[in-house]
């Protein structure tokens, strides 16, 4: 079977199972199997696949039919122009989360410390793959960055990503800020905020870690806990950047006002707060 024939057949199989992007999924899976870029597939559509490569690619298509996300099948996902290792122990980085980095850049255009001024500390709470904290460190090398997560398996993935990408960060295992020993200047967090009652939840979510996705109280219970914890532990002026669904932002802002925050930035999937 040629590359072109396999892509056509695999795309049809995925389309029959109502997968949302069958051709793209097939191309990503075959390119990963062949250890080639997707552009190679287009330029070599008449090349014959080896029996071994065909068997491996077919097995991966069967896994995709079970709604296992492509990122778990190939073991990585790109975020802010960098490749992050992912496993079923961590959430797959989403493009929406990049809004937090964009917001950080607007609020913190330069972190170069002035003489006599301590280096600013940023902590990525519930770090998962580490994509937020590691990206922050690579975009702002002057920051002192730490990653926290309650899952040791997630921290292992984040540590591997930090090493691979050359980001010097600290890691702490614990619930939110409980085991973080410093007073941060900036807290970034993509905490669980999905309400199980929401309509149109993707079947793929069943393969991601439930504790990192779902929360009670309309999806806001963990975010509200973080708001309270930062208010109790951190100094005035601390920035808190949170990811959430756009339907939740008004409620988050209202809850933040009860803990003496002010709104400093807002986007479709991100909200920036400053502790007064």
Span 204-258, pLDDT tens digits? 888 999 999 999 999 999 999 999 999 999 999 999 999 999 999 999 999 999 9
What mean pLDDT comes out for the span 117-127? 89
196 or 147: which carries more pLDDT confidence? 147
Q: What are phi and psi of 259, to 5 degrees?
A: -110, 20
- What local confidence, expressed as pLDDT, does residue 114 receive? 53
Q: What are phi and psi of 254, to 5 degrees?
A: -65, -40
Span 170-206, pLDDT tens digits? 999 999 999 999 999 999 999 999 998 887 778 888 8
Is pLDDT at 28 greater than 70 in this prediction? Answer: yes
Residues 275, 262: Cα–Cα separation, whole Å: 7
Sorted by where each begins, the domain ranges of the chain are: 3-66, 77-275
Residues 259, 105: Cα–Cα separation, whole Å: 25
Q: Mean pLDDT over all residues of the chain?
A: 94
Residues 233, 255: Cα–Cα separation, whole Å: 17
- What local confidence, expressed as pLDDT, does residue 186 receive? 96
What mean pLDDT comes out for the span 8-26? 95
The two beta strands, 170-173 and 239-243, are: unpaired
- What local confidence, expressed as pLDDT, does residue 110 receive? 60
Q: Contact 213/128 with Cβ under 8 angstroms? A: no
Task: List, as one string, the DSSP characters of 140-183.
Answer: -TTSEEEEEES-HHHHHHHHHHHHHHT---EEEESSTTTT--S-
Residues 111, 219: Cα–Cα separation, whole Å: 33
Q: What are phi and psi of 210, to 5 degrees?
A: -60, -40
Q: Other C-beta atoms within 10 Å of 229: how many?
A: 17
Fold of 77-275: Rossmann fold (3.40.50)
119 or 40: which carries more pLDDT confidence? 40
Residues 170, 148: Cα–Cα separation, whole Å: 9
Burial of 115 (0-12, 13-18, 19+ CB in 10 A): exposed
Q: Contact 179/156 with Cβ under 8 angstroms? A: no
Q: Contact 223/259 with Cβ under 8 angstroms? A: no
- What local confidence, expressed as pLDDT, does residue 108 receive? 84
């Amino acid at each position: 079977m040629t590359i072109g024939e396999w892509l056509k057949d695999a795309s049809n199989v995925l389309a029959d199972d109502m997968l949302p992007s069958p051709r793209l999924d097939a191309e990503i899976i075959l390119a990963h199997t062949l250890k080639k870029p997707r552009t190679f597939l287009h330029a070599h559509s008449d090349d014959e696949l080896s029996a071994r490569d065909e068997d491996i690619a077919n097995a991966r298509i069967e896994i995709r039919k079970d709604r296992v996300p492509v990122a778990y099948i190939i073991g990585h996902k790109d975020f802010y122009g960098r490749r992050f290792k992912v496993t079923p122990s961590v959430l797959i980085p989403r493009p929406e989360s990049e809004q937090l980095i964009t917001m950080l850049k607007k609020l913190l255009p330069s972190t170069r410390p002035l003489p006599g001024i301590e280096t600013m500390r940023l902590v990525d709470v519930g770090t998962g793959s580490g994509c937020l904290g590691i990206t922050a460190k690579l975009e702002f090398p002057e920051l002192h960055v730490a990653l926290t997560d309650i899952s040791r398996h997630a921290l292992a993935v984040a540590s591997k990503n930090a090493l691979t990408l050359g980001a010097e960060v600290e890691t702490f295992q614990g619930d939110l800020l409980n085991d973080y020993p410093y007073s941060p200047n900036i807290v970034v967090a993509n905490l669980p905020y999905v309400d199980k009652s929401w309509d149109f939840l993707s079947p793929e979510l069943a393969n991601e870690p439930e504790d990192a996705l779902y929360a009670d109280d309309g999806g806001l219970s963990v975010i509200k806990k973080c708001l309270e914890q930062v208010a109790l532990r951190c100094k005035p002026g601390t920035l808190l950047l949170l990811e959430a669904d756009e339907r939740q932002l008004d409620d988050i802002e209202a809850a933040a006002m009860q803990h003496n925050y002010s709104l400093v930035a807002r986007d479709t999937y991100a909200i920036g707060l400053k502790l007064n």
